Amino acid sequence: MDTGYLLDRRTAVPQIVGDHRDFLFVTGLGGTSRDISHLTGDGASLYALGGAMGAALSVGLGLALARPDRRVMVVTGDGELLMGVGTLATIAVMDPPNLSVLCVDNGHYLETGGQLTHTARGTDLEAMARGAGFKATATVDGEAQIDHGRAVLREPAHCSFVLLRVAPTEPPAFRRDMDAAATRLRMKASLA
């Protein structure tokens, strides 16, 4: 199904993140882990999930609470986020000002054969984030809004949520380290 969204994640994700060195990243399984491992060169600032679907938001919350001195960005897909969507409420009521969520919404479960997610059928995750209590939110579905989205992801006073609507095209080809223990130690060592 054509969702009508035209942005290409391979350019839109780097543009909306801006300088990736500003953030620690937690990414959900699938495309967003490839987006950000490509962007960071699979660096120590990234903890990329390869399973545990639905956990990206909660891992990001734990990290943000643990490190109030650093900005944390969760980058995850619409399908992954929907599996743990209640965590939007858990984050919003804690409201850690150093936590941003970037949902790369392509309306599809691309890795499992391109089935539609709920967001291609009427579910609005920005509205859900706002309803959960996020005070800083935005939807970005065109080039003209990317600068605004990048600013919302750097909101200093509250946790923030940006829904980036993209075409259902492939993320960058990138082979990241899938060893969850090695990448854990890599991030911990960089933060010690």
Partner 1 sequence: MTAGHPPSPWQDQVYELLKAGGITQFAYVPDAGHKRLIERAIADNEVHAVSLTTEEEGVGLLAGADLGGRRGVLLIQSSGVGNCANLLSLIALGRFPFLALVSMRGDFGEGNPWQYPAGRAVEPVLQAMGVDTVRVDRAEDVAGVVAAAITQAFQGNRPTAVLLTQRLLGAKAF
Residues in contact with partner 1 by the rule CB under 8 A? 26, 47, 49, 51-67, 84, 86-87, 89-90, 93-94, 180-181, 183-184, 187-188, 191-192
Complex with partner 1: residue 145 or 183, whichever CB lies closer: 183
Complex with partner 1: residue 56 or 103, whichever CB lies closer: 56
**Nearest distance in Å: CB 174, partner 1:** 20
**Nearest distance in Å: CB 93, partner 1:** 7
Complex with partner 1: residue 59 or 152, whichever CB lies closer: 59
Q: Roughly how many angstroms between the first and final C-alpha of the chain, as a whole number?
A: 47
Q: For 131, what's the count of Cα atoms within 13 Å in the CB-facing half-sphere? A: 8
**Nearest distance in Å: CB 64, partner 1:** 7
Complex with partner 1: residue 87 or 145, whichever CB lies closer: 87
Asked if 148 and 126 touch (Cβ cutoff 8 Å), the reply is no
Q: What would the 3-class secondary structure string for 69-124 be?
A: CCEEEEEEEHHHHHHCCCHHHHHHHHCCCCEEEEEEECCEEHHHCCEECHHHHCCC
Q: For 139, what's the count of Cα atoms within 13 Å in the CB-facing half-sphere? A: 14
**Nearest distance in Å: CB 104, partner 1:** 19
Q: Give the number of other Cβ atoms within 10 Å of residue 179's Cβ.
A: 11
Q: Which of 70, 77, 72, 85 is nearest to 34 (CA)?
A: 77
Complex with partner 1: residue 121 or 184, whichever CB lies closer: 184
**Nearest distance in Å: CB 59, partner 1:** 4
